[in-house]
Each structure stands twice: as C-alpha cells, then as structure tokens.
Chain A
Amino acid sequence: RKEVEQDPGPFNVPEGATVAFNCTYSNSASQSFFWYRQDCRKEPKLLMSVYSSGNEDGRFTAQLNRASQYISLLIRDSKLSDSATYLCVAPRDGSGNTGKLIFGQGTTLQVKP
C-alpha cells in the first residue's frame, strides 16, 4: 500500500458545484496532514493543515478520519480559479517535527464554466 494515496482524477465539475477528494494514508501514527495546491507549471503551495478537529477556511473544509485512515478536502461553490492539482501530504515521521513530508501524486480538478 502506498504511504499516501489519492485518486488522480481528473475531476471535471461545473462552476458552483461541491466537490470532495479523499486521500488514504498508511502510517497510523501520523498526527497531522496537509493539503497543498499546485497550479499548472507552478510550484506547490500549502492550502490547509488538517488536525484531529478538522479545518475550515472559507469554501474549503478538510477533515481527518483516523479510524479509516483518510483525509478529505471539500470545496464548496467551485470557482474556475480552483482548477489545479491538490496534493495530499503526510509527515514522514508521524509527528511532523522533522519537516520531512510524503506527497500523494495529486488529484486534478477542472472547474468548467
């Protein structure tokens, strides 16, 4: 099993739609997770952190399900500008103290007018 696994998509959705991505992880000791966004031909940038209580930032909600070992990212009211690849990320050492991360291969979202 891959350490961090995502459905690569692409997810094609109309503007205004709600879309959700899931990501599974294998290290049950991991305490925190992250979603990064990567635009076409650009570098990844941190979108959100995910801890046990989840996280919400505007139209974006990230949740953690420890029992099933998955993280989700929900995007409400999709905008054209949300089109990007979303990378699910876990710390290599579980605690995140070393700064070393494991990146999923990414889920591509295309929002259509």
Chain B
Amino acid sequence: DVKVTQSSRYLVKRTGEKVFLECVQDMDHENMFWYRQDPGLGLRLIYFSYDVKMKEKGDIPEGYSVSREKKERFSLILESASTNQTSMYLCASTPPRGRGGEQYFGPGTRLTVT
C-alpha cells in the first residue's frame, strides 16, 4: 500500500512566520505535488517536482517555495505566512508513466494563519 504522510494535520501560525510543511512517500515515486484546497476553488497546484532537486511552478506559486533533497521527501515552505494562506494543504505523489491519473494523497495539513 502506498503511503503518503504529512508532518502535521493541524497547524496554527502567526502572520510573518516561516512555515515548513513536510511530505514523505514510501513508494519510490518520482513525481510529487503540493496543492491547496479551498471551498469553491477546488484543488490548485502550487508546485510540482519530477525528481530530486527538480521543481516546477504550478498555478499559484507566489508566496511559496519547495525543496526536494531526497526522493521520498517534498517540502513546502511559506516564506512569510499571510492570512490568505490559511487553507488545507495536500501533498501527492504518482508513479512516473502509464498511470498518470493515479495520484496518492497525504491526509492534508489544515493551516491557519492568524
């Protein structure tokens, strides 16, 4: 069974703080993704990584950065948290080819920025 874990289920941070969200997958997947999910807006792609140290911006990268130093770990960084970054953050991973529609999601981190 594929397992994607995220470091926290719930997180409360103050405006201006630097925030790290960690994601780990145990299936040796090349591709990893960070999304945020907001009511009425659905899942929006923040960043994507297709290999160690490789990253690509998604639809809403502003205010975020990522790090992929090891294949199994993909970190999302909020450089200076703002209240409009209050959201549910979901990490996902997928095998490289042939099953591109099957993304495995972590349980999500609900981040509140006050």
- A45 CA to B38 CA, complexed, in Å: 17
A44 interface residue (CB < 8 Å to B): yes
- A46 CA to B100 CA, complexed, in Å: 11
Do residues B31 and A43 form an inter-chain contact, with CB atoms below 8 A? Answer: no
Do residues B102 and A46 form an inter-chain contact, with CB atoms below 8 A? Answer: yes
Do residues B90 and A91 form an inter-chain contact, with CB atoms below 8 A? Answer: no
| Closest-CB distance, A22 to chain B (whole angstroms) | 16
B54 interface residue (CB < 8 Å to A): no
Q: Is the interface of A mostly helix, strand, loop or mixed?
A: loop
A1 interface residue (CB < 8 Å to B): no
- A11 CA to B45 CA, complexed, in Å: 27
| Closest-CB distance, A53 to chain B (whole angstroms) | 15
Contact partner of A49 (CB less than 8 A), chosen from B40, B94, B101, is: B101
**How many B residues have CB within 8 A of the partner chain?**
23
| Closest-CB distance, A51 to chain B (whole angstroms) | 10
A103-B101 contact given A43-B106, A43-B108, CB 8 Å threshold: no
- A95 CA to B112 CA, complexed, in Å: 36
B96 interface residue (CB < 8 Å to A): yes
- A38 CA to B58 CA, complexed, in Å: 22
| Closest-CB distance, A84 to chain B (whole angstroms) | 14
Q: Which of B94, B95, B106 has the most CB of A within 10 A?
A: B94
Q: List, sorted by A's number, 30 A–B pairs whose CB atoms are closer than 8 Å.
A: A8-B40, A32-B101, A34-B101, A43-B105, A43-B108, A44-B43, A44-B90, A44-B105, A46-B101, A46-B103, A49-B101, A87-B42, A87-B43, A91-B100, A91-B101, A96-B100, A98-B31, A99-B31, A99-B94, A99-B95, A99-B96, A99-B100, A100-B33, A100-B45, A100-B100, A103-B35, A103-B42, A105-B40, A105-B41, A105-B42
